[in-house]
Amino acid sequence: MKKVLLIGIAGVYNYGCEAIIRGTVELFRKNSPDYQLFYASINVEDDKKRLEGCDIEIIKRTIKKWTIKNILRKAFGAFGIRIKYCYDSVSILKEIDEVYSIGGDIYTLDSNNNYSASLPLFGEKCISKGVNYYLWGCSVGPFTKNKSAELFFKNHLKKVTKIYAREIETVNYLKSIGIESNVELMVDPAFYVAPEIRKKYQSASIKRIGINLSPLSSKYVYSTIDEAIQAQSQTIKELIDFYNCEILLVPHVWSKHIDDNDFHYLQSIYNYFPEAYQSKIRLISNDPGFLGVKRELINCDVVLAARMHCAINAAAANVLVIFLSYSSKAKGMSQYVYDTTNFVIGLEDFQIDIIKEKISALYSFCNDKENFSPLCK
């Protein structure tokens, strides 16, 4: 029996990470039932609760931050000297045959065009010990805004056993930097989670719009969070006025860090409205997990989502979705779902006229298909 380790995420308080694990388990149980799956968790007890019913063994992820090497790395960093460092201990590899890096955005630049080398360096340690290292259900890059990052990742990705990319934009970008022979396109594992939760019919009118916005995505577009909240709240107000509809605010990450907590961010948007508008807005506030959110999304007529896995959650449930983009990965996923990149809105263009145009075009597009479904293929 092969033993497979899933590693890379900070926790399944991020519903996208929960979906990746649940979907990966489904795929392995279907195609490789003799594999034993382990997930390396920073917060074992919380993740066990959130992954209840998921057939995977959760083990402690050991991260070494307070070492002499890391202290020296930080000291040199103060003088602008970058030293790459691996936080994960290779002791976790005992009896492990294969390692899968999970988490869709680990191999990308952050909003300041910086990157972390820690997990890639851990992957190289795996390879040096004869343990296969895979990137699984991922988006990679682009790193064009940071040439040192592009050089680092170009050299690193050539060593990776296999890169399973979840969308075509990643495949095309990797090909452009000479990474091709070890790349394969796959379906994001989240599409395999709870397929029985599915919208059965599509209303001809817009009665409820689901909206996912996040502080993480807003950092890429707006100067301040307050500016983002004000601008996005105004657009939501105009959507309510135009469609005379309800709004469902959908958190998809419940991080302990405020700057990555969708609930806290969407609560600020909700609080921005006077009582007359609040009566038409509902914020999901009970932290229901990926499956619970999916049950809420099937009651929406269309979903606008900044978090990739919130968009996937909606699309997999047969709900019309428009991708709010702060990176190229949204175009790749729109291409997968609709066979076109037309149903992407740059987050900087989260404005009433653009949204109305996209929703109208999406309804027309899907009405032209044999089945009224966002998974039109």
Starting at the edge strand that comes first in sequence, how are the strands of the sheet with 281-283 ordered? 281-283, 246-249, 208-212, 302-305, 320-325, 344-346
DSSP character for 158? T
Q: Give me the residue label for tokens 């890096």.
A: 101
**Residue 197 covered by a domain:** no
Based on the domain organization, do 231 and 348 belong to the same domain? yes
The CATH code of the domain that includes 113 is: 3.40.50.2000
In contact, 13 and 46? CB cutoff 8 Å: yes
Based on the domain organization, do 152 and 294 belong to the same domain? no
**Residue 200 covered by a domain:** no
Rg (alpha carbons) of the chain, rounded to whole number: 21
Q: For the whole model, what pTM was predicted?
A: 0.90
How many other CB atoms are there within 10 angstroms of residue 94's CB atom?
A: 7
Three-class SS of residue 283? strand
- Range of the structural domain that residue 246 is part of: 208-367
**Residue 281 covered by a domain:** yes
List beta partners, residue 283.
249
Domain count, the chain: 2
**Residue 373 covered by a domain:** no
**Which residue in 215, 299, 285 sits closest to 250, CA to CA?**
285
**Which residue in 44, 106, 42, 14 sits closest to 293, CA to CA?**
14
What does the pLDDT read at residue 76?
A: 44
Which of 139, 162, 192 lies at the terminal end of a domain, its last residue? Answer: 192
Based on the domain organization, do 63 and 181 belong to the same domain? yes
What does the pLDDT read at residue 156?
A: 96
Structure tokens of 108?
Answer: 């990308």
Based on the domain organization, do 141 and 64 belong to the same domain? yes
In contact, 320 and 301? CB cutoff 8 Å: yes
Structure tokens of 129?
Answer: 């010990």
DSSP character for 253? B
| CA 157 from centroid of its chain's CA atoms | 21
What does the pLDDT read at residue 371?
A: 47
What does the pLDDT read at residue 233?
A: 98
Based on the domain organization, do 116 and 159 belong to the same domain? yes
What does the pLDDT read at residue 12?
A: 96
Q: Compute the CA torsion angle 23, 28, 33, 36 (nearest 10 deg).
A: -90
In contact, 169 and 328? CB cutoff 8 Å: yes
Q: What is the pLDDT along the chain (377 residues), one digit of tens a residue?
A: 899 999 999 999 999 999 999 999 999 999 999 999 999 999 999 999 999 999 999 999 987 665 555 544 454 455 455 567 678 889 999 999 999 999 767 788 887 888 888 999 999 999 999 999 999 999 999 999 999 999 999 999 999 999 999 999 999 999 999 999 999 999 999 999 999 999 987 778 899 999 999 998 898 889 999 999 999 999 999 999 999 999 999 999 999 999 999 999 999 999 999 999 999 999 999 999 999 999 999 999 999 999 999 999 999 999 999 999 987 778 989 999 999 999 999 999 999 999 999 999 999 998 876 544 555 43
CA distances from residue 373 to 167, 209, 337, 365, 377 in whole angstroms, order as listed:
20, 16, 10, 10, 9
Based on the domain organization, do 85 and 58 belong to the same domain? yes
- Residues 163 and 50: their CA atoms lie apart, in Å, by 27
In contact, 217 and 251? CB cutoff 8 Å: no
Based on the domain organization, do 357 and 283 belong to the same domain? yes
**Residue 203 covered by a domain:** no
**Residue 55 covered by a domain:** yes
Q: Compute the CA torsion angle 11, 17, 22, 25 (nearest 10 deg).
A: -90
Based on the domain organization, do 187 and 238 belong to the same domain? no
- Looking at residue 229, its amino acid is I
What does the pLDDT read at residue 67?
A: 57
Based on the domain organization, do 258 and 119 belong to the same domain? no
- Residues 247 and 255: their CA atoms lie apart, in Å, by 23
- Residues 59 and 39: their CA atoms lie apart, in Å, by 6
